[in-house]
Amino acid sequence: MHIIESGNVAAAIGVKLSRTQVIAAYPITPQTPLTEKLSEFVELGELDAQYIPVESEHSALAVCIAASSTGARAFTGTSANGLLYMSEQIHWAAGARLPIVMCVVNRGIGAPWTVWNDHQDSISQRDNGWIQIYANDHQQIIDSVIKAFFLAEKVSIPVMVCYDGYILSHTYMPFEIPDQSKVDEFLPKFSPNYALHPDEPANLNSVTFPDVRNDIRGNLAPGYMEIRHMLHRDMREAIGEIDEIDKRYLKIFGRGGTPFVEGYKNEDAAFIAVCLGSLSYRLRDVVDTLRQEGINVGVVSIHVYRPFPEKEVVCAFKKAKKVIVFEKALSYGNEGALYADIKSALYSCEERPLVQNYILGIGGREIKTDDLYNTLKDSCTIHKSSICQPKWIGLKM
């Protein structure tokens, strides 16, 4: 069935179809309509779940941690400073290897206060041990949420599904709602290897010593460093799982095929624009115009940002002469985070493209199509002297 609805509703329907059992809710713009819609589903009896309103985002993720520890499928959503308020629990959920799914409706961070879109919130949390997936439109939002539950429970690592505040969260687009029976076929009931139970009390994630030691049964147990190594190793191996999950989803639902990078006219492109999220679809119109002018340019969006898919990135860009990275976030004092990761992935290539970085749309600053056109056209040249610190689009002072 196809409907026309907002991105937040698309996410909520994905959570409902996934038969989520516990939902922790705290309002924050522009995420609020997502959990409000879930409360409607629960109230109407369309979703058999515990809906728990809490007093803060920190508590919201604490509820999910507790629920997931007992073997329940858990979900929450947040934005901006709400995500930052969760920070301690975000690290805890990853270290505890709990398969929680959380939608991050991207918004700028205070101070000063802003309620508008950029990517600084989720990018600031890129190193906390969560898988990060970025959606470009409403169909990708609902599909990504469903796949995120499968992935999180397969690899025992929590997943963020990120999408642009207002640009996607509040706009209306057509998308297809998967049939519940097919979702049930794709996503089995959550069955963890271990779950807390009153009949079997246990002490989880207590103080761990720096070195390995014998546990109470006399078996050699990992120390803190080994635990962190296993999380990193399993995140890297999750790249293969993401690929297999996408293939399975494609077989059942007929959608997918580009789990890591989604290209548009990039196969023969000498110049490739790259970004996260919905901006990539706006860039397609610019690419079409430049192609008509004889400029051989394409665009690529990165769907999976953590774990970073180096091989897929190299494959997408290795034939290009230049890669132009557009970002709505940055690593203060250095450069764009995505820009740095792409450069790192390409570093080992014997012949690698030049890479240039632009920062734009910070705090919801309007991204004008003319600016995208002029910037991309000017960037479709090969001048090494132009590759330096990031350039900013839209600055007025």
Can you give the CATH number for the domain in which 277 is found?
3.40.50.920
Which residues are CB-neighbours of 148 under 8 A, at least 6 positions away?
101, 131, 133, 159, 161
Distance CA 263, CA 221 (A): 45
CB 338 within 8 Å of CB 276: yes
Residue 389, pLDDT > 90, answer no
380 vs 383 pLDDT, higher one: 380
pLDDT band for position 215 (cuts 50, 70, 90): confident
Q: In terms of residue numbers, what domain contains 46?
A: 2-186
pLDDT at 105: 98
More confident residue, 103 or 202: 103
Query: Does 53 score more than 60 pLDDT?
Result: yes
CB 132 within 8 A of CB 162: yes
- Check which CATH number belongs to the domain holding 92 and give it: 3.40.50.970
Does 139 lie in the same domain as 19?
yes
Q: Indicate whether 180 and 266 sit together in one domain.
A: no
- Flag whether 110 is in a domain: yes
Do residues 178 and 314 share a domain?
Answer: no
- The pLDDT value recorded for residue 134 is 98
The predicted structure's pLDDT at residue 203? 84
Length of the chain: 397
Note whether residue 217 is domain-resident.
Answer: no
Q: Are residues 267 and 175 in the same domain?
A: no
Overall pTM surpassing 0.95 (yes/no):
yes
* Average confidence (pLDDT) over 135-163: 98
Report the C-alpha gap between 93 and 100 in whole angstroms.
8
Instruction: Give 397's pLDDT tier (boundaries 50, 70, 90).
Output: confident
| 315 falls within a domain | yes
Domain end, chosen from 186, 204, 239, is at 186
Can you tell me the distance from the alpha carbon of 277 to that of 185, in angstroms, rounded to the nearest whole number? 29
Q: How far apart are CA 147 and CA 245, in angstroms?
A: 7
Same domain, 38 and 168: yes
Q: Is residue 10 part of a domain?
A: yes
Neighbouring CB atoms inside 10 A of 190's CB total 20
* Position with higher pLDDT, 381 vs 160: 160
Task: Pick the last residue of a domain from 186, 206, 239.
Answer: 186
Q: Which residue has the higher pLDDT, 208 or 314?
A: 314
Banded model confidence at residue 207, pLDDT cuts 50, 70, 90 = confident
Of residues 1 and 260, the one with the higher pLDDT is 260
154 inside domain: yes
**Residues whose CB is less than 8 angstroms from the CB of residue 282 and which lie 6 or more positions away in sequence, other chains included:** 367, 369, 372
pLDDT at res. 209: 84
pLDDT tens, position by position, 73-101: 999 999 999 999 999 999 999 999 999 99
Instruction: Give the CA count within 13 Å in the CB-facing half-sphere of 233.
Output: 6
| Domain assignment of residue 202, yes or no | no
Average pLDDT, the chain: 96
What percent of the chain has pLDDT above 90? 91
Number of structural domains the chain divides into: 2
Are 17 and 102 within one domain?
A: yes
pLDDT tier for residue 384 given thresholds of 50, 70 and 90: low
Strands 304-306 and 131-134, by their bridges, are: antiparallel
Query: 360 and 276 in one domain?
Result: yes
Q: How confident is the model at residue 381 (pLDDT cuts 50, 70, 90)?
A: confident
Last residue in a domain, options 186, 210, 239: 186
Within a domain: residue 252? no
Q: What type of residue is 102?
A: M
Distance of CA 173 to the CA centre of its chain: 20
Is residue 310, in this structure, part of any structural domain at all? yes
Q: Are residues 175 and 293 in the same domain?
A: no
Residue 385 has pLDDT above 60, yes or no: no
Other beta carbons within 10 Å of 83: 27
Closest CA to 144 of 160, 164, 166, 126: 160
Q: Give yes or no: residues 288 and 175 share one domain.
A: no
More confident residue, 213 or 159: 159
